[in-house]
Structure 1
Amino acid sequence: MSDDHDALKAAYGFNFPDEFFAFREFTRTSVGKRLLNALGIRLEGPFQFLDKDEAHIKNPLWASRYYDDPPEFFTVLSGMMDGLHWGYYLDDPNDTRMCVAGFYSNDAFDLSIDGDTLFEVLRNDLEYSYGSALLDIEYGNEKAENQRHCAKLDRLREHLMKHATGDRPEMGEEYTEQYKAGSHRAVVAATRESMGIVVPEALYRSIAGRDFAKHSTPQPSATLVKKCSREALELLEQGFPGAALKLGKDLWISQVGRDACFTLLERAYEALERPLLKQMLGVARDYRTFCDARRK
Structure 2
Amino acid sequence: MSSKEELNEAYVKDPRIPCKWGAKCYQKNQVHRDKYKHPPLREQGKNEGILKTTQRIQHDPKKENQIRPRSPDTDSELPEPKKSCLSPEATKTVEDIDSVLVERSSDLETRHGNNSGIEGEKKESELQGVEKNDRAPESTEPKQLISEEVDVKKIIKTRFLVEMPDDFYKFYNLCKEILPKDPSNAFKAVDLVLVGPYDVLNGKLLNSEIENKGDYLIHWRYFYDTPEFQTILKGNDKDGLHYGYWRDEPKENPIFVAKNISKMGCKIKPVAETIFGAVDNYLEEKLKVATPFEKAKLVTLRQRVKKSASLNNISMDKNTDRMKARERQVVARTFHGAGIVVPYNKKTQLGYRELSLTDTHLKKTLNSIENAEDNNERAKHLTAIEEAERLATIAADECDFGTCLELGHDLFSNGGQHVQSTALRMLSTAYTLLNRLEFLEIAKAHCKNRKIGSSLSIV
Name the TM-score class by shorter chain: 0.7 to 0.9
**Which deviates the most, 104-113 or 46-55?**
46-55
Gaps of 5+ in 2: 1-148, 346-350, 369-380, 454-459
Provide the TM-score with structure 1 as the length reference: 0.81
Determine if contact 1:56/1:63 at 8 Å carries over to the other structure: no
Aligned counterpart, 1:10:
158
CA displacement 1:129-163 (0-9 Å, x = unmatched) = 11233xxxxxxxxxxxx122223322322222111
Q: Which has the higher mean CA deviation after the structures are superposed, 118-127 or 57-66?
A: 57-66
Match of 1:89 in 2: 246
Task: Pick closer, same or farther for the CA change 1:164–1:212 going to 2, 3 Å.
Answer: farther
Residue aligning to 1:259 = 421
How many equivalent pairs are there?
A: 269
1:1-296 equivalent positions in 2, closer than 5 A: 1-30=149-178, 36-54=187-205, 58=210, 59-80=215-236, 81-133=238-290, 146-164=291-309, 179-180=318-319, 182-185=323-326, 186-202=329-345, 203-211=351-359, 215=363, 218-219=366-367, 221-252=381-412, 253-288=415-450
| Pair 263,110 (structure 1): closer, same or farther in 2 beyond 3 Å | same
- Superposition deviation, residue 17 in structure 1: 0.8
Larger Rg: 2
Q: 1:236 to 1:128 in 2, by over 3 A?
A: same
Distance in 2, matches of 1:213 and 1:275, equals 31
Shift of 1:57: 5.9
Assess if the C-alpha contact under 8 Å between 1:207 and 1:228 holds in 2: yes
Give the counterpart letter for 1:71 in structure 2: P
Per-residue deviation, 1:213: 9.1
Matched residues in 1 for 2:421 and 2:157: separation?
30
- Residues 211 and 19 of structure 1: CA distance in aligned 2, closer, same or farther (over 3 Å): same
- Deviation (angstroms), 1:226: 0.9
Aligned AA (2:244):
G
Greater shift, 18-27 or 67-76, is seen at: 67-76
8 Å CA contact 1:101–1:113 kept in 2: the answer is yes
The 8 Å contact of residues 192 and 214 in structure 1, kept in 2 or not, is answered as: no
Query: What is the letter of the counterpart of residue 89 of structure 1?
Result: W
Per the alignment, do residues 184 and 9 of structure 1 end up closer, same or farther by CA in structure 2, a change over 3 Å counting?
A: farther
> Is residue 46–residue 60 contact of structure 1 (8 Å, CA) maintained in 2?
no
Question: CA 1:217 to 1:157, structure 2 compared with 1: closer, same or farther past 3 Å?
Answer: farther
- In structure 1, stretches of 5+ residues that fail to align are 134-145, 167-174, 292-296
**CA apart distance, 1:218:** 4.8
Q: Distance in 1 between matches of 2:220 and 2:269?
A: 19
Mapped to 1, the partners of 2:177 and 2:389 lie a distance apart of 51
- Which range moves more in the overlay, 203-212 or 278-287? 203-212
TM-score, structure 2 length as denominator? 0.54
